[in-house]
Structure 1
Amino acid sequence: MKVVKFGGSSLADASQIAKVRSIIEADENRRVVVVSAPGKRRGEDTKVTDLLIQLGDSIQTDGTMDMDTYMKIIDRFRTMAEELALPIGVLETVKDRIDQAIDLVKEQSNNALDTLKACGEDGSALIVSSYLQQSGLQSSYVNPKEAGILVCDQPGGAIVLEESFERLYGLRERNEILVIPGFFGFTPEGQLVTFSRGGSDITGSIVAAGLKADMYENFTDVDSVYCVNPMYVESPKQLTSLTYREMRELSYAGFSVFHDEALIPAFKEKIPVCIKNTNNPSAQGTMIVAELPERESHVVGIASDKGFLNLYVSKFLMNREIGFGRKLLHILEDEGVSFEHAPSGIDDMSVIIRDHQLPPEKEQVVVQRIKEELEVDMVMIERDMAMIMIVGEGMNQTVGIASNAACAFREAGVNIEMINQGSSEVSMMFGVKSSELSSAVESLYRTFFE
């Protein structure tokens, strides 16, 4: 059995959905399909999920609905349904569910925005299942509640509950092709809750793990994973294989192919994952597995991302003050700030934070508390930081990786603001100024891949 997940670009319009049907028909083992909301049809287009969020925000702002945004959403689904010649009842069902979600937002019901955001994936699943039926395939729409996907009540950041996997296994008894909307689940009390953005990948992985599938195929719009962002390097090397740990590190640090949490359920069940291209399904793709044989090169990828800041704290004899680090992180916890990395020295400590976690008004409160409660010599915040991560199994056992990376930064004329390997065996992270990100990544690529 294969669980197949199709991303937003694979479901953007009727012609893409026709490709999805062909892919499913080509392999009788593709019995369970997880779908995202319709993505962009062209560069200037807007994803349906973004339109739903805009619609919800407009209702919450002044209590009235933005009819222009509403009609854009309905027209997206209407166009697909008409071009695929689906029964009129399919579009009516999609529209009714959107209207019901809008009413919940107007009533300010619990998790109403999550219910509205989920209408993109739900609409995709209704249309795809109907189209498969019309094409002569036995197919059924399966709501996540019916499938057994139970999650905690954490709007916009749901976490799957363990009992989901046993419930999902029961779907193996069904013989038709099952189409499940991604991105959301239900609490044990029946409340709809969404995962974080990109969460359809999480659903796909959860379903594959619950069904104990032989393979989880994730169809997107690229032939394979590249070793570096093509935005920085022209025609970069394609990767035919990765380990779960390598892919998770790359996803966390800016690779857009996978949500960084998506592989965890598949990883636990040791289910191989294959990334493939909807527009070129015969391409080899990239296999993601638990373990790989020995490679000639230990660096397999370079990931990067902007939007970080460095909270730098200095205090003489910090290393002798028991509990200093705990107290510093407790202040961040009190103020609702999550951190990414915390490299430290004898008298100083840096905390790397996503920029959006610490807006200016919250920054003032955090800085003042650190000064008063920890009696530090200096506290400073440095914004416009970028993180670059080089990733590969066995790097910590390979001589010269850090030296080669440092030489690459030197050749690019880029100063390293922060370096951190910590306890990771598969990655090494560097902090640089955002303005120097491109030249640093190009130089690292030349060093490790050319």
Structure 2
Amino acid sequence: MKVIKFGGSSLANGQQFERVVNIIREDSQRQVVVTSAPGKSATESVKVTDMLLQYAESCISGHPDEQLLKAIKVRYRQIADSFDVSEADLATITDQLDALNQAHYPSYRQLREYFAAHGELLNAQLLALILQSQGVPARFVLPTQIRFESKKNDEAVFDEEKSLDRLATFPVEKDVVYVFPGFFGFDQHNRIRTFSRGGSDITGAILAEGLQASLYENFTDVSAIATVDPNVIANPEPIKAMSYSEMRELSYAGFNVFHDEAIIPAIHGQVPICVKNTNDPDALGTWIGPASQLKDSRNITGIACTKHFAALYLHRYLLNRDSQFTRRLLALMADYKISYEHMPSGIDDLTVIFNRENLSEKQLQEFVQAVRQELAPDIIRLHDQLAIIMVVGQGMKNRSGALEQIIAPLAKEKISLQMVNQGASEIAIMLAVDEEDAKRAIKAIYDSEFA
């Protein structure tokens, strides 16, 4: 049995739904389907989830945007009109939109979660109706098996153990197609709680693990994951296969084809993933799975880049003898809600690299001043315009001189490296460069390795 998930662009309109129906019918093993909300297309410039969140804000303000609500209904109606879905069946979907502003919610946060989750919820119901109209024995499934634990601060944490326990008893009947909405589950009070945006990938991975699927197919709008951002390198080479670890490293550093948190359930269940294209389903796609099953490990599998980083350099003689120095620094970072990404150090030096994207200039300067006052370093320097480049490849483990060969093209281009760090896994090398040099650095490495 296979679990398959379709992204928002794959379910944006009636034409895309027809492709999805054909993909499901082509393989009888594709029994568990996970839906996203309708996304963007050539004719639709806004995702339904964004429309629902805008509608939520209008309801919170006390002035519900009825025109926006009508536009959301039109999106589902246009899809339904492409198939033999009766007006009465469609009304069971659109009536739920009308009910959103009539319900009571414990907080504005949960109101937003309820509204946002309905993009996937209604799309799953609609897909089940469409499959039934095409003669496919399909059933919509409310994802009560996906469990969260709500905390006192109104945050919700995914509960993997409870989710797997519930999925262990879920009956999968032969020839039946089960349609689950992605992105959300339920807490201990049976209230809807959501993952972060893009969380339908996570739902699919959890179902693949819990139902012990043979494969998790993730259908998007690309035929394979590219070795590098196509906005930086035109027509980059596709990645045919990679390990879970490689995907984790690349997702962290900016690859956004697949939600990085969705890798974890797949790893736990040892379920291989295949990223495929809804518009070209016969393309092989990109296989992601255990490193032991890779037939060929390239020296470099992919290059990813993320900007908005800062590096705080601290120097103090005999720093290595101060057992409290690092603890006090991390406590200050916690006070400012800053989590560090890397922390290379020496006997007298320490650099902490962190994401500054959500910090204002004022907050950043206040944090630096607090470090200066609390730790009294001899030298303190902030470099706040850094890009992190991750060069990832399973084959680098056995590649002699890998670091030197990756850095050499940057020296040739006179690109200054602010920091270099090779992880303990030996499959990833992290390079820190000035943001303005990032594209040139990526191109230099790509041309050296792939051209």
Query: TM-score, with normalisation over the residues of structure 1?
Result: 0.93
- Equivalent position of 1:151 in the other structure: 148
Could you tell me how far 1:80 is from its partner in structure 2?
1.3
Contact 1:158 1:194 in 2 (8 A): no
Q: Distance in 2 between matches of 1:332 and 1:266?
A: 32
Tell me the alpha carbon deviations over residues 362-382 of structure 1, each in whole angstroms, 9 at most, x when there is no partner.
Answer: 324422321222222344433
What's the secondary structure of 1:23's corresponding residue? helix
Aligned-pair distance for 1:78? 2.0
- Deviations along 1:12-40, one digit per CA (max 9) or x if unpaired, are 11100110000000001100000111111
Q: Measure the CA separation in 2 of the matches of 1:288 and 1:273.
A: 5
Aligned equivalent of 1:433: 434
Paired residue for 1:72? 71
1:201-224 CA-partner distances (Å, limit 9, x unpaired)? 000000000000111111111111
Calculate percent identity across the aligned residue pairs: 39
Aligned residue number for residue 41 of structure 1: 41
Number of aligned pairs? 447
Deviations 1:376-408 (A, max 9, x none): 234443333211101111424421211111112
User: How far, CA to CA, are the matches of 2:284 and 2:155 in structure 1?
Assistant: 34
Q: TM-score normalised to the size of structure 2?
A: 0.93
Paired position in structure 2 for 1:114: 113
Gaps of 5+ in 2: none
Aligned partner of 1:358 in structure 2 is 359
Contact 1:224 1:277 in 2 (8 A): yes
Q: How far apart are 1:315 and its partner, in Å?
A: 2.9
- Secondary structure in structure 1 of the residue aligned to 2:180: strand
2:20 corresponds to: 20
1:377 corresponds to: 378
Separation in structure 1 between the aligned mates of residue 104 and residue 343 of structure 2, nearest angstrom: 39
Any conservation in 2 of the 1:206–1:266 contact (CA below 8 Å)?
A: yes
Matched, 1:141 2:121: no
Give the CA RMSD over aligned residues.
Answer: 2.2
The Cα shift of 1:320 comes to: 1.6
Q: Partner of 1:313: helix, strand, or coil? A: strand
Per the TM alignment, residue 131 of structure 1 is displaced from its structure 2 partner at its CA by 0.4
* Residues 251, 258 of structure 1: 8 Å contact kept: yes
Letter in 1 for 2:180: I
Report which stretch shifted further, 24-33 or 394-403.
394-403
Could you tell me which residue of structure 2 aligns to residue 97 of structure 1?
Answer: 96
Gaps of 5+ in 1: none
Kept after mapping to 1: 8 A contact 2:242/2:294: no
SS class of match (1:435): helix
Partner of 1:340: 341
What one-letter code is carried by the residue in structure 2 that aligns with 1:70? L
Is the 1:337–1:357 Cα contact (8 Å) retained in structure 2? no
**Mapped contact 1:59–1:106 kept (Cα < 8 A):** no
Over residues 121-179 of structure 1, what are the superposed CA-to-partner deviations in whole Å (9 max), with x where a residue is unaligned?
Answer: 1121011111001111111111111xx11123277874233121121132344342110
Contact 2:148–2:156 (CA under 8 A) maintained in structure 1 = no
Q: Are residues 377 and 101 of structure 1, via their aligned partners in 2, closer, same or farther at CA, if it must alter by over 3 Å?
A: farther
What residue number does 1:166 align with?
A: 165
Letter in 1 for 2:53: I
SS in 1 for 2:260: coil
Partner in structure 2 of residue 230 of structure 1: 230
Tell me how far apart the structure 2 counterparts of residues 355 and 164 of structure 1 sit (CA, whole Å).
Answer: 34
Match of 1:299? 300
Change (3 A) 1:336 1:125: same
The equivalences for 1:121-140 within 5 A come to 121-140=120-139
User: Equivalents in 2 of 1:263, 1:312: separation in Å?
Assistant: 33
Which sits farther off after the overlay, 95-104 or 422-431? 95-104
Paired position in structure 1 for 2:82: 83
Instruction: Quote the offset at 1:44 in angstroms.
Output: 7.2
Change (3 A) 1:106 1:266: closer
**Residues 300-348 of structure 1, C-alpha deviations (whole Å, 9 max, x = no match):** 1111122222233333322221121121112112222222222223333
SS state of the match for residue 336, structure 1?
Answer: coil
Structure-2 residue corresponding to 1:283: 283
User: What one-letter code is carried by the residue in structure 1 that aligns with 2:69?
Assistant: Y
1:125–1:333 CA distance, 2 compared to 1 (3 A): same
1:48: how far off?
Answer: 1.5
Q: C-alpha separation between the residues in 2 aligned to 1:333 and 1:90?
A: 51
**1:412 alignment counterpart:** 413
Q: Given that residues 81 and 90 in structure 1 are in contact (C-alpha distance below 8 angstroms), is that contact kept between their aligned partners in structure 2?
A: no
Distance 1:307 1:358 in 2: 10
Decide which moves more: 235-244 or 289-298. 289-298
Residue equivalent to 2:190: 190
Paired amino acid for 1:82: D
Is this contact kept in 2: 1:205–1:266, CA < 8 A? Answer: yes
Asked if structure 1 preserves the Cα contact closer than 8 Å seen for 2:156 and 2:187, the reply is no
Distance 1:418 1:44 in 2: 43
Equivalent residues of 1:253, 1:387 under 8 A apart: yes
Distance in 1 separating the partners of 2:312 and 2:90: 51
2:243 is the counterpart of 1:208: no
Alpha-carbon contact 1:172-1:211 (below 8 Å) kept: no
The answer to whether the 8 Å contact 2:53/2:116 transfers is: yes
Q: Which amino acid aligns with 1:442?
A: K
Change (3 A) 1:37 1:409: same
Map of 1:268 onto structure 2: 268
1:237-252 aligned at under 5 Å gives the runs 237-252=237-252
8 A Cα contact 2:5 2:218, kept in partner: yes
Task: State the distance in 2 between where 1:372 and 1:359 align.
Answer: 20
Task: Judge conservation of contact 1:225–1:275 (CA < 8 Å) in 2.
Answer: yes
Which residue is equivalent to 1:178?
178
- Equivalent position SS for 1:255: coil
Q: Post-superposition shift, 1:5?
A: 0.6
User: Is the alpha carbon distance of 1:224 and 1:375 closer, same or farther for their aligned partners in structure 2, counting shifts above 3 Å?
Assistant: same
The residue identity in structure 1 corresponding to 2:160 is L
Q: How many Å separate the matches in 2 of 1:376 and 1:59? A: 51
SS in 1 for 2:410: helix
Please state whether the residue corresponding to 1:242 is helix, strand or coil.
Answer: strand
Whole-Å separation in 1 of the counterparts to 2:344 and 2:23: 47
AA aligned opposite 2:323: I
Q: Which amino acid aligns with 1:122?
A: L
